Amino acid sequence: MANIARSIRLKKNYILAVFAILLFLSFVFVNIGSGLLFGRKKADFTGDARYTLSEASRQIVSEINTPVYIRLYLSSAVSREYPALYQYSQTVLRRLETYRNQNPEMIQIEVKDPEPYGKIAEEAKAQGLKSFLSTDGQFELYFGAVFGNDNGDSRIIEQFSPGRAGYLENDISRTIAGLNNPLRTKIGILNGNLPISEKTYGQNKGNEWAFLKLLQNEYDVVPISSRMVEIPYDVETLLLISPANIPPLFAYALDQYLLRGGRVILFADPYSEIEAEIYGTASVNSGNINKTLKNWGASVDFNKVIGDPDISENIVATTDKGQRLQNRPTWLNLNKQHINQDLVFSKNIASVRLKSPGSIELQTKEHIKSTPLFSTTQNGNSIDTETLKLFGDQNFADEHRQYIIAALIEGTADSSYLHNPLDGTGFEEEMLPFLPTSIKEGKLLIIADSDILADSLWINEQISGDGGVYEQIPYTQNGELILRAVDYMTGAGNIAGLGSKQLSPELNSISREIYQRRLKPYLPEYESVKKLLEEKEKFVKTWNEVIQNNEAKLNMSVVKKLEQTRRDIEKIKEKQKQIEYRVRKETTAEIDAVIWINMAGIPALILFAVWIFCFIRTKRRSRKVREVINEYKIS
């Protein structure tokens, strides 16, 4: 009997084992099948639609005509050395996979680990990727990508930066679009008095404005001189930056360029605050550009600067009475309501900063379509440009009307000239023939502000430093708008639709958020101490340089003053440290509170609630049972 039972048990176990194996095989095959069938189809469960490609990106990916190979160089040590960066690297990988899934036949991805001093690290360096040091400063690490295709074209993203998370799709799509169209379009820049590039002032480094780097990354940017009598025909778009006084021949060249279907972006500023900041004064605009604009149904008022209390900025200013919040009505922070969202290049642009802009008057003209781009609220006011320069921005005319600050003008127009001004000189024979009217639709984008281009209005210079495009950390969308406007003007409509998902100037860590919140009450004091320290240090540095270069003789009063300043610096530094210590202490206390509340407080409360619930339930049941027993006894 025992043997039979044993044999039955063995048989049962055997059948069970076979069944378990069959179930395991079903698990394997079901998953292989589902992986192959549904692996590429994913729903995006993120609030900012992180893994959903925009229409513009999808179009760019669909236009790929030769296979694109993406080599991502990611040092494995990043996960150990920089956990936050590693976290971001996973987002980048997933994002690249999204592109691949969109067009798997044309996009291939390869991940490479450049080990320190290895062949792959050398390869990454040779490709032009930027390295960064490990925390101990011993090794070079990489986190960038090289995009190449079968035609031998390649483009690189030197380094992925978490601060540009909102621009990740923009960066990747532009890189792929660059491979689709390897020939760079030529754009020209005529710069007035702003030192936007090193070429302008012959300096060696660090003098290129961020917007220019953005344009150079996508286009072949050539300088245009105001002495030219003809704008080169291969210049697809011309950027005219704060042209204070246009020579008559160049005005003619501009007129003819527009009539030949040229595209111009004009930054016409009544008062360039950045220029005033750099040179101590801003040049006066003669307004002769209006002669060219007249036939296009537009004119810029260079005598008035626009302000708007509803969209103006508040700044912390140091006055005699200490730190005060001061309103700057001419410093405007435009949001979606004041930026035309119907234009391809301004769609989803939600933040643009301007300083003392002018206004544009638009007239209705046949064959011309004028579309306002930026406008103030109905509370807009104006102030005389000279009054603003001399007395500040508080004396506004009580107008309360809406002003147009930027406008896009498209269509055909007549020439402002009756003939070529050089007629009869013999030079006219070397020039293109005079056009009395448009032969092709021209495009003119007028922005009545040039400060929009300044780095300080849109990127975090402290984080971005002198780095390349992929290190720029924007906090407003000035640069993005300019680049997209150029894309639109040059005819790259699909790229012009590419925008940022969100502006994330810095990595949001909770400790940083707590620190910032705790710092807020101390901020005015902290900022004034910091400013004072900078001033004192600058003073000492300047005097040290003067003394070292033997530019001035050292006397007792100078020595005393220097000594006093050094002592002041020590005191200020101590005060700064005190504030930092206080903030750090409060931050640590809040962090500890968060830990204790979550680890002990809430679980204890929940456990207590569950126990109370069970206790009451048991008591109620016991009572019911007792009642039943009592009823039974009575009956």
Partner 1 sequence: MPIAFKTVFNKEFAGFFRSGNAYIVLGIYALLSFAATFYAGGYFSLDNTSLTSFFLYQPEILIVLLPAITMRSWTDERRQGTLEYLLTQPISYVSAVLAKFGAAWLFGLLMLSVSLPFWLLTSFLTPLDNLNILSSYLVCILIIGTFSALGCTVSAFNSNTVIAYIISIFVLWCLCNLNLDFLITPAENISDDVFVRVIRSLNFNKHYQDFVSGQIGLDNVIYFFSVMIPALWLNVIALEFKKK
Task: Give me the least distance between CB of 96 and partner 1, in Å please.
Answer: 7
Residue 26 interacts with partner 1 (CB under 8 A): yes or no = yes
Candidates 97-105, 335-343, 533-541, 573-581: pick the segment binding partner 1 (CB under 8 A): 97-105
Closer residue to partner 1 (CB): 419 or 624: 624
The Cα–Cα gap between 431 and 79 comes to 62
The residues, any chain, with a CB within 8 Å of residue 424's CB and separated by 6 or more, are none
Candidates 16-24, 182-190, 379-387, 436-444: pick the segment binding partner 1 (CB under 8 A): 16-24
Closer residue to partner 1 (CB): 105 or 574: 105
| # of chain residues touching partner 1 (CB under 8 A) | 71
Task: Give me the least distance between CB of 73 and partner 1, in Å please.
Answer: 11
Closer residue to partner 1 (CB): 62 or 508: 508
Secondary structure letter of residue 356 according to DSSP: S
The Cα–Cα gap between 300 and 337 comes to 22
Across the beta sheet with 322-334, the strand order is 312-319, 322-334, 352-355
| Half-sphere CA count of 174, side-chain side, radius 13 A | 25
Residue 606 interacts with partner 1 (CB under 8 A): yes or no = yes
Among 75, 89, 100, 458, binds partner 1 (CB under 8 A): 100
**Contact positions with partner 1 (CB under 8 A) in 158-187:** 162
Phi–psi pair at 225, nearest 5 degrees: -95, 145
Instruction: Please choose, from the candidates 450, 452, 484, the residue with its C-alpha nearest in 3D space to the C-alpha of residue 237.
Output: 484
Structure token pair of residue 340: 């035309």
For tokens 């003053």, the residue is 561
Closer residue to partner 1 (CB): 50 or 304: 50
Torsion, Cα of 198, 202, 203, 204 (10° steps): 80
Candidates 338-346, 352-360, 564-572, 603-611: pick the segment binding partner 1 (CB under 8 A): 603-611
Instruction: Name the CA radius of gyration of the chain, rounded.
Output: 33
Structure token pair of residue 75: 């040092």
Residue 609 interacts with partner 1 (CB under 8 A): yes or no = no
Residue 602 interacts with partner 1 (CB under 8 A): yes or no = yes
The Cα–Cα gap between 489 and 477 comes to 18
Q: In Å, how far are 21, 455, 526, 567, 593 from 581, measured between CA atoms?
A: 63, 32, 12, 21, 18
The Cα–Cα gap between 31 and 34 comes to 5
Among 80, 341, 611, 630, binds partner 1 (CB under 8 A): 611
SS (H, E, C) 153-166: CEEEECCCCHHHHH
Helix (H) or strand (E) holding 412: none
Candidates 362-370, 401-409, 479-487, 601-609: pick the segment binding partner 1 (CB under 8 A): 601-609
Q: Are 478 and 353 in contact (CB under 8 A)?
A: yes
Among 10, 317, 595, 612, binds partner 1 (CB under 8 A): 595
Distance of CA 578 to the CA centre of its chain: 34
Closer residue to partner 1 (CB): 15 or 316: 15
**Contact positions with partner 1 (CB under 8 A) in 30-69:** 30-32, 34-48, 50-51
Candidates 123-131, 405-413, 487-495, 587-595: pick the segment binding partner 1 (CB under 8 A): 587-595
**Contact positions with partner 1 (CB under 8 A) in 612-631:** 614
Instruction: Show the site string, 492-531: x = touches partner 1 by CB under 8 A, - = not.
Output: ---------------xxxxx-xx-----------------
Closer residue to partner 1 (CB): 13 or 564: 13
Among 6, 62, 84, 310, binds partner 1 (CB under 8 A): 84
Closer residue to partner 1 (CB): 358 or 474: 474
